[in-house]
Structure formats: structure tokens, C-alpha cells
Amino acid sequence: MTEFCRTERDGRVLTVTIDRQEVLNALHPPANEELGRVFDEFAADPELWVAIITGAGDRAFSAGNDLKYTARSDGRLPIAERGFAGLTSRFDNPKPVIAAVNGVAMGGGFEIALACDLIIASEKAVFALPEPRVGLAALAGGMHRLPRMIPLKHAMGMLLTGRRVSAEEGYRLGFVNEVVPDGEALAGARRWADQILACAPLSVRASKQSAYQGLGKASLEEACNTSYDQVVAMVKSEDFVEGPRAFAEKRDPVWKGR
């Protein structure tokens, strides 16, 4: 049972809904710990291949850190091992995670979305890293992820001012994959999830791991010549044989994830 979020399994997809509507789905340490356990279970479950995270209601994906809760503790709060929503400090999950941003994604809420592999945003979604306006900084990865996703000057414009960016501008800048009509963020994310599920899951994981870890290499040559364990697993899998066989036999492949 969960207290601060809802989970739903639908085939190979896990949908996680942050459910603290009274504070615009802002997160405090108990919620972060709970979500960390949820995503631990997702990562370990061989039957689940894709996750979607969204916010309850139609106003907010997540307003980030619950500042009122923080203020009551003089800012001295435990830091969740896996970060905001169990995602911002999770670097070892090869399965894709999609953010369905249905409203405000501010501060840690934006950092949760940035920690996902895809961002599908409602046309009414708003993104910002406003931490400097309250004497803080985007310490849950925002300061590092955003400059790696969009041109540096645009990233610095957001980081140094805390300004708000619309879904459409986020798409133009490059951190939003698709803008959908209001109320359709979750449906849009599920459509992307279904496209991922049409691919071999081990191929997807090999691609994700190689792309992210390769960015940390000093050169393209080093990135290409590095061994990635998800690539090794893909090459050794039954799906590695099934894909070409299904193509030759002119049929849809049947992926097993092994």
C-alpha cells in the first residue's frame, strides 16, 4: 500500500501518480522514500518494461520540494537515497521512464521530469527551476541535466533567473518531446510507451545505457569502444535471434525480454 502516490499496472507498463494534490504534488522526505521503493520494485520486476510518472489532478505534475514542510524543520531534512520521487539520483535503471507533465513542474518537479527519458507535456504545463528565488539551488540534478539537454545559454537563462517556460517553449528548446492538448498528457505518454513496447526491451535498455554512459566518455571513439553490460545482455538474448527471424518470416516479433 502507498500513501503519497498511486500505482497501476497495465501489461508491461507501470503508471505512477504522485498524489499530494493539497500541496500541488510537492514532495517531502516520506513521499520521496515511498516513491524510491516504488521505482526499486519497477526496476527489479522482469514483467515491467516501461514506467510513466505523472501528477494527480489537473493543476500540477509536481511543485517540487514541499517548502512548508521544510520550513517547519529548519531545512534539516534527510535526503532520500534515490532523490526526488526516487528518480533524480537513480543512475542505474536501464528501463525507460516517461514523464507525463500535466501541469506545473517547478523546482524538484522539473528535476523529476528531467530525470526521465522522455517528457510529454500538456499545453498548459509550466517548467522552471526557481530555487535561487528562495535562497536555494537546483541540487537534485537540474543544474547538470538541463545544460546537457539544451544549448548552454538557454539553460543558463533558466538557471540564473528561475523564469517560467511554457510547454511550447520547452519543445522548441528541446527538453520536451511532445506537447499535447490539456488533459491528454497521460494518454500521450502511453502512446509513446506503446511505441517503445513495439521494440525489443533489451535493445531499448542497451540503447538507453549506451547513450547515457557514452556521454560521459572523453571522445566518440571511447564511447563506441566501451563495453556496456546491457549490450552484452542483448547480444546473448533470445530476442537477438527473434528479431531478424521475425523480419525474415514477415511476421511481428514476439519479445520475451530474455
Q: Which of the residues are catalytic?
A: 111, 131
Edge-to-edge order in the sheet of strand 126-128: 60-62, 104-106, 126-128, 165-166
- Report the Cα 133 to chain-centroid distance in Å: 25
CA distances from 96 to 73, 93, 135, 169, 202 (A): 35, 8, 33, 24, 11
> CB-based contacts of 245: which residues, under 8 Å, 6+ apart?
253
Edge-to-edge order in the sheet of strand 97-101: 5-10, 13-18, 50-55, 97-101, 118-122, 178-180
C-alpha cell at 127: 517548467
CA distances from 200 to 38, 203, 236, 255, 257 (A): 24, 5, 13, 6, 7
Please tell me the distance from the alpha carbon of residue 178 to that of residue 17, in angstroms, as a whole number.
20
Quick one: how many helices (H) and strands (E) in the chain? 11, 10
Cα R_g (the chain), whole angstroms? 19
